[in-house]
Amino acid sequence: MKEALQKAVREALESGKAKATVILVEKDGELMPRLVTKPDDPAIDSLYSGDRRYPTASFVVMLQPVITGDIAVPVRECDRRMLFELSKRNQVDLERLVLLGTPCTQEVADACGCDHPFTADDIAIAPSLASPADPLPLPEALQSNDPAEKLAFWMGEFERCIKCMGCRNVCPMCFCNDCALDNLDLVSAESKPPEIPIFHLIRAVDMADRCVDCGMCEAICPAEIPLRQLYRQARQIVKDAFGYEPGVSEEKSPVEMLGEPTELAGMEEGFRTGQIPAE
């Protein structure tokens, strides 16, 4: 697979199909993106094609405005969903990207619950849209019809959060310059661990029409909070209400067209502190 990907990268540059490529290389045990513009660049020899994942899409967002011409990018299926959703939000120009489908091993696909990873046939050009994998099995507490039981489950999970911000920083769909998690009216700067559940609910609401279910936030969370499950539930609300699936639906998010921003000033104080008032 590595050789096939190296060949596709070199061909994209040699043929002029792409002016540059973004590949992953491994240095001192760390993965990092590399911009390559020449087919004989020795960095292509050390192209990384192993099981570890990397938020390459964030790098493409930064790079595309300063590169004239098309960029070839090896992508896994989840990277493709990210870039597609980012293009609808004017963060990347999909027309100027050449997506090289990168197959995942069965082990990675199983760990992600992905039932349609790219195959070797997709390396030349990644194919079009496919939905994320079937829903993960719900933990028992979340199968309950009792909201208090569900809240207790999530509060128990959120209590372990150390506010490292890894979940936000790894997420290519978190591209806002002004992040609500830095808004001191919503999240106190001093609080470590963060106030719960508001910290996590802000992010979950933000992700409801953006999350492409890549699972990288959950993989990086040192507290092992089942974040992917949380954002899947948020995604499901938007899907049920509007039929919209981030990374899959062709149209733009309906949530962006709902009108004026919601006024948060009157928010109940109890909600900030986790003492949500009883109905």
Q: Considering the complex, what minimum distance in angstroms separates the CB of residue 232 from ligand SF4? A: 8
**Three-state secondary-structure class, residue 27:** strand
Stretch that binds ligand SF4, among 4-12, 24-32, 110-118, 208-216 (CB under 6 A): 208-216
Beta strands in 11-156 (DSSP E): 20-27, 30-36, 71-75, 97-101
Among residues 245, 244, 236, 250, the alpha carbon closest in space to that of 204 is found at 236
Supply φ then ψ for residue 100, to 5 degrees: -105, 110
Q: Considering the complex, what minimum distance in angstroms separates the CB of residue 277 from ligand SF4? A: 25
Among 167, 187, 198, 202, contact with ligand SF4 (rule: CB under 6 A): 167
Asked if 214 interacts with ligand SF4 (CB under 6 A), we say: yes
CA atoms of 127 and 237, how far apart (whole Å) = 28
Nearer to ligand SF4, 123 or 208 (CB): 208
Among 12, 98, 207, 234, contact with ligand SF4 (rule: CB under 6 A): 207
Asked if 222 interacts with ligand SF4 (CB under 6 A), we say: yes
Nearer to ligand SF4, 141 or 201 (CB): 201
Nearer to ligand SF4, 24 or 225 (CB): 225
CA atoms of 79 and 94, how far apart (whole Å) = 12
Nearer to ligand SF4, 9 or 208 (CB): 208
Among 198, 211, 234, 238, contact with ligand SF4 (rule: CB under 6 A): 211
Give the burial string for 155-177 (b: 16+ CB within 10 Å, else e): eebbeebeeeebbbebbbbbbee
CA atoms of 16 and 12, how far apart (whole Å) = 6
Nearer to ligand SF4, 162 or 258 (CB): 162
Asked if 166 interacts with ligand SF4 (CB under 6 A), we say: yes
Q: Residue 148 corresponds to which tokens in the numbers above? A: 């208090």
Task: Report the 10 Å Cβ neighbour count for 138.
Answer: 14
Q: Considering the complex, what minimum distance in angstroms separates the CB of residue 106 from ligand SF4? A: 21
Positions touching ligand SF4 (CB under 6 A) are 161-167, 170-171, 173, 207, 211-217, 220-223, 225, 227-228, 231
